[in-house]
Amino acid sequence: MRDVSFETKVVHQSQKNKNNFTSKASPIHQTSSFSFKDLDELEGYFEGETPYLYSRYGNPNTDELGAAVAALEGTESGAASSSGMSAILAGILAVVKNGDHIVACDDLYGGTYHLLDEELKNFGINVSFVSFANEEEVREAIQPNTKLLYTESITNPFLRVEDISGLVQLGQEFNLFTMVDNTFATPYLMQPCREGIDLVVHSATKYLGGHSDVSAGVIVGKENLIQAAKQKIVSLGGNLSPFEAWLTCRGVKTLALRMEKQSRNAQAVAVMLKQNENISKVYYPEGVSERGNGAIVTIELSQQCNIRTFFASLGWIKIVPSLGGVETTVSYPYGTSHRNLPAEAQEKLGINERVVRLSIGIENEQDIVEQFFQAIEKSC
């Protein structure tokens, strides 16, 4: 029997109910802890006979989310956490320790850049940021104590598509772990683990949840690495609540439908915006997947445009510091996600006060284009 398609798998990713009753939807195990009938049964948890003790250690809903994303990414195991950032930290600490070194791409999400550049110093971990578009820069940055290569499958906010197979080869050549943030692409478009990446992380707040009503993260990969990452989540208190895990699993079921529509809309929006003389640059990836190129478009307005007027003229399009919901939204990297980058890093990447990141939703594509054109016309 042939393997089912992604569109079928994503709907049926929930764990089968092992109780003596049938529920079409997964129940919510909204409990802080689990009870035991006697000390023998309690001891059974520590001997591996029962799976749950305390929801910080594990919960059926959080386990369901981790397993679901691992299945969609085509890898062995997964663990859910409280946010994308906590998942990133757990994944890093699963393979890197005090005295180790990381080589990371320089065109990262600003929050990740800060975590790597500032917070990891407190753990005695050093990071070098280089352009992963230049393999020689990556090679030159690798040191004897380097343990990890870290990047994003589609970078934030300028949407460079990472060479995943090249990264895997480099990791194997130098015996390094590889870790990829796959939030922008989602497993609908890219599945880095299938190409040999060791760890893949998601801010499930974005496309996996899909409805802007949850904060969650997921880390997936090989079983031994995920067990190490899960221990970090438990020890550092980065656990996800059962209800938010349940909401995210519900969102995952419609991932294929949403990404298909949003990617198609984004492609159309990018084409139309390139024709507008008041936009100096339009960033939209190509060749990501046969299913599409993602739902993010980044633009740079021309110098004669007033950025404040543009944002004030967006009408029904919301201004938010996030992405991935069903509604079209915009964010301002210079003032939010990348505001704390060093000035030299902002300048090198091209992040200035005229750059706007568009998260394209499921609305009518012509309505989206017209709303952006109206805002541009008023601001320029």
For residue 21, is pLDDT > 70? no
Give the pLDDT confidence of 35-54 residue by residue, as tens digits: 999 999 999 999 999 999 99
Whole-number pLDDT of residue 1 = 47
Which is more confident, 340 or 1?
Answer: 340
Whole-number pLDDT of residue 343 = 87
Report the alpha-carbon distance of residue 111 to residue 131 in Å, rounded.
18
177-181 and 199-203 strand pairing = parallel
**Residue 115 structure tokens:** 């975590």
Which is more confident, 346 or 271?
Answer: 271
Q: At what angle do helices 255-273 and 365-379 cross, to 10 degrees?
A: 40
Backbone angles phi, psi at 45, to 5 degrees: -60, -45
Q: Which residue has the tokens 């970090």?
A: 232
CATH code that applies to domain 256-379: 3.90.1150.10
**Averaged pLDDT for residues 2-17:** 78
Q: Which residues contact 286 (CB under 8 A, 6 or more apart)?
A: 161, 293
pTM above 0.75, yes or no: yes
Whole-number pLDDT of residue 240 = 98
**Averaged pLDDT for residues 152-164:** 98
For residue 279, is pLDDT > 90? yes
Whole-number pLDDT of residue 349 = 87
* pLDDT, averaged across the chain: 95
Whole-number pLDDT of residue 342 = 84
Other C-beta atoms lying within 10 Å of the C-beta of residue 24: 6
For residue 18, is pLDDT > 60? no
Report the alpha-carbon distance of residue 237 to residue 235 in Å, rounded.
6
Give the pLDDT confidence of 82-120 residue by residue, as tens digits: 999 999 999 999 999 999 999 999 999 999 999 999 999
For residue 162, is pLDDT > 50? yes
For residue 274, is pLDDT > 90? yes
How far lies 61's CA from each of 8, 97, 149, 241, 243, in Å?
Answer: 21, 30, 31, 8, 8
For residue 20, is pLDDT > 60? no
Whole-number pLDDT of residue 361 = 98
Report the alpha-carbon distance of residue 207 to residue 210 in Å, rounded.
4
Give the 3-state DSSP-derived string for the chain, with helices as H, strands as E and coil as C. CCCCCHHHHHHCCCCCCCCCCCCCCCCCCCCCECCCCCHHHHHHHHCCCCCCCECCCCCHHHHHHHHHHHHHHCCCEEEEECCHHHHHHHHHHHHCCCCCEEEEECCCCHHHHHHHHCHHHHHCCEEEEECCCCHHHHHHHCCCCEEEEEEECECCCCCCECCHHHHHHHHHHHCCEEEEECCCCHHHHCCHHHHCCCEEEEECCCCCCCCCCCCCEEEEECHHHHHHHHHHHHHCCCCCCHHHHHHHHHHHCCHHHHHHHHHHHHHHHHHHHCCCCCEEEEECCCCCECCECCCEEEEEECCCCCHHHHHHCCCCCEECCCCCCCCCEEECCCCCCCCCCCHHHHHHHCCCCCEEEEECCCCCHHHHHHHHHHHHHHHC
CATH code that applies to domain 6-252: 3.40.640.10
Which is more confident, 116 or 343?
Answer: 116
Q: Where in the chain is the domain with CATH 3.90.1150.10?
A: 256-379
Backbone angles phi, psi at 27, to 5 degrees: -75, 155
Give the pLDDT confidence of 315-331 residue by residue, as tens digits: 999 999 999 999 999 99
Angle value at C-alpha 346, between 340 and 337, nearest 5 degrees: 45
CA 245 to chain centre: 15
